[in-house]
């Protein structure tokens, strides 16, 4: 009896598995693409436009002019209110220095007061201290222009000599961008060309212009420095910010362009291809690309006409001659 019951359970399980397999097979058969089933794609049309020819290069901001803040006389730097990287404004108090002679007189009077043992000695010491404080020679260190602290060579409490350098401050009005341009692109760079500089930190791009190609070259990475002037750069913040410059070196007028998404490039062979949607079917062509800008790619060859439909979505793995249906966006 038990044997018959067990056999029935096994038969029922086998039937369920068989039914599930049939259902799965039917579902697979139902969803498998066939030549008669169009593949949904999205398309864009070929247009003719003018594209800018840009040279892009990384770099950093730098100050052409710097102020060396020096000690006016020998003494002690009693205050220093800024650190490297701090922005400063013209006329801002940055610290203070006390002359060596004044410091000596003040220290002597304080020591007299500390050692005073009688009312007379205490009275004399207090008068000496008041006189030392009255005659104290103290000079405030003031910024001469707007900029940022680049470096410091003394700290609060340090003894300094006359004319000793204390701070180095950049001049915000002299801020430029130094772009490291590949040597192969340097022949295309000319003074006066327009440029756009994007700096790190989410700042808005800044318009500028090429001033010159600086002498010398970096043999390690085969680049040369190009100075890009930035009018109104005083608001950009501290120097040394990294970023990238895009320099306009020319234009491609009336060229055929397609969205970047329409171009597939084989990284192994280096061949770029487009898939046209013509007569309801996919047709692949090899293309030569040119300038890229703002999500558009120039197609140099073969010639393309305005309005030709190129597939921009659903083209990966799409066979030649496959029927396609254009989906709405």
Summarised one tens digit per residue, pLDDT across range 28-44 is 444 445 556 889 999 99
- Contact criterion met (CB below 8 Å) for 165 and 153: yes
Identify the pLDDT of residue 329: 64
- pLDDT tens-digit profile of 154-189? 999 999 999 999 999 988 878 899 999 999 999 999
Identify the pLDDT of residue 124: 82
- pLDDT tens-digit profile of 1-29? 444 444 443 444 444 444 444 444 444 44
- Contact criterion met (CB below 8 Å) for 230 and 206: yes
- pLDDT tens-digit profile of 287-302? 999 999 999 999 999 9
Per the DSSP assignment, residues forming a β-bridge with 250 are: 53
Per the DSSP assignment, residues forming a β-bridge with 88 are: 147
pLDDT interval class at 238 (50, 70, 90): low
Identify the pLDDT of residue 9: 38
CA distances from 35 to 320, 322, 327 (A): 11, 6, 18
Tell me which H or E stretch contains 51: strand 47-63
DSSP characters over 253-279 = EEEEEEEGGG-EE-TTT--EEEEEEET
Q: Does the pTM of the predicted model rise above 0.75?
A: no
Instruction: Say how many Å lie between the first and final Cα of the chain, rounded.
Output: 66
| Closest to 252 in 3D by CA, of 190, 297, 210 | 297
- Give dist(CA 196, CA 59) in Å, integer: 12
Residues 6+ apart with CB under 8 A from 190: 210, 249
């Amino acid at each position: 009896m038990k044997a018959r019951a067990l056999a029935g359970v096994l038969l029922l399980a086998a039937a369920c598995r068989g039914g599930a397999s049939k259902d799965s097979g039917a579902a697979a058969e139902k969803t498998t693409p066939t030549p008669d089933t169009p593949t949904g794609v999205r398309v864009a049309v070929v247009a003719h436009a003018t594209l800018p020819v840009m040279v892009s290069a990384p770099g950093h901001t730098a100050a052409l002019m710097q102020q060396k803040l020096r000690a006016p006389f020998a003494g002690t730097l009693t205050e220093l209110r800024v650190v490297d990287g701090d922005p400063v404004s013209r006329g801002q108090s940055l610290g203070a220095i006390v002359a060596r002679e004044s410091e000596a007189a003040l220290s002597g009077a304080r020591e007299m007061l500390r050692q005073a043992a009688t009312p007379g000695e205490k009275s004399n010491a207090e008068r000496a201290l008041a006189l030392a404080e009255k005659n104290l020679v103290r000079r405030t260190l003031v910024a001469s222009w707007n900029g940022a602290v680049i470096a410091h060579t003394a700290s609060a409490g340090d003894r300094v000599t006359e004319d000793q350098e204390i701070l180095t401050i950049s001049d915000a009005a002299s801020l430029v961008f130094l772009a490291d341009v590949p040597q192969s692109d340097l022949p295309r760079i000319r003074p006066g060309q327009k440029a756009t500089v994007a700096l790190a930190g989410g700042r808005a791009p800044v318009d500028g212009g090429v001033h010159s190609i600086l002498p010398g070259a970096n043999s390690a990475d085969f680049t040369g420095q190009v100075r890009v002037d930035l009018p109104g750069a005083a608001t950009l913040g501290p120097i040394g910010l990294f970023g990238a410059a895009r320099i306009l070196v020319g234009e491609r007028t009336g060229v055929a362009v397609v969205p970047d998404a329409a171009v597939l490039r084989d990284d192994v062979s280096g061949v770029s291809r487009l898939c046209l949607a013509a007569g309801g079917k996919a047709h692949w062509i090899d293309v030569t690309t040119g300038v890229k800008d703002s999500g558009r790619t120039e197609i140099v060859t073969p010639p393309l006409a305005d309005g030709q439909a190129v597939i921009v979505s659903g083209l990966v793995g799409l066979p030649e001659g496959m029927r396609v249906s254009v989906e709405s966006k």
